[in-house]
Amino acid sequence: MKTIFLSFLATFLLLTTGCANRSMLSSGEIEKLDPALQKLLTEENVSDADYSVNQQSDGIKLYGVLIRGASRSEVQKLGIHVNSSFGDLITAKVTAEQLKSIVKLDSVYSVKNSIKSFPQQIGVSK
């Protein structure tokens, strides 16, 4: 009987800790995130190559995001440095924890992963 209980307890702990990141956000909050950012918050092993990411000297990673719907001041009140804003579009670099705070804002309706862009070479002659 003791073995069955310990087995049940171990399984329960594995399931609850594995789902902990996702359970911190409601389904409506998760839906505000694009698939890449959902993956960032719900999976443990993600590749930095899929993100515009900078690592600070203290080891904390900052991810580039495009936030739609919030005002600049709302985002700044969360302690987030805003890179730029135009209308309801805001660009910022955020930690994974800050990302969770952003989607909890009622005014935010989407947060997208920022990707690095490079200029195209058009009309290059041989």
**Would residue 75 count as lying in a domain?**
yes
Residue among 92, 84, 90, 94 at smallest CA distance from 107: 90
User: What's this model's pTM, rounded to 2 decimal places?
Assistant: 0.72
Domain tally, the chain: 1
Q: How far is CA 7 from CA 4, 10, 72, in A?
A: 5, 5, 50
Give the Cα separation of 93 and 81 in Å (integer): 7
| Mean per-residue pLDDT of the chain | 83
Tokens of 13: 């702990």
**Would residue 46 count as lying in a domain?**
yes
**Would residue 85 count as lying in a domain?**
yes
pLDDT of residue 23: 45
CATH no. for residue 93?
3.30.70
Q: How far is CA 59 from CA 3, 16, 80, 97, in A?
A: 41, 27, 17, 14
98: three-class secondary structure by DSSP? helix
Tokens of 81: 């440095």
**Would residue 62 count as lying in a domain?**
yes
**Would residue 118 count as lying in a domain?**
no
Structural domain boundaries, residue 95? 26-113
**For residue range 28-70, what is the model confidence (pLDDT) as tens digits?**
999 999 999 999 998 888 888 889 999 999 999 999 999 999 8
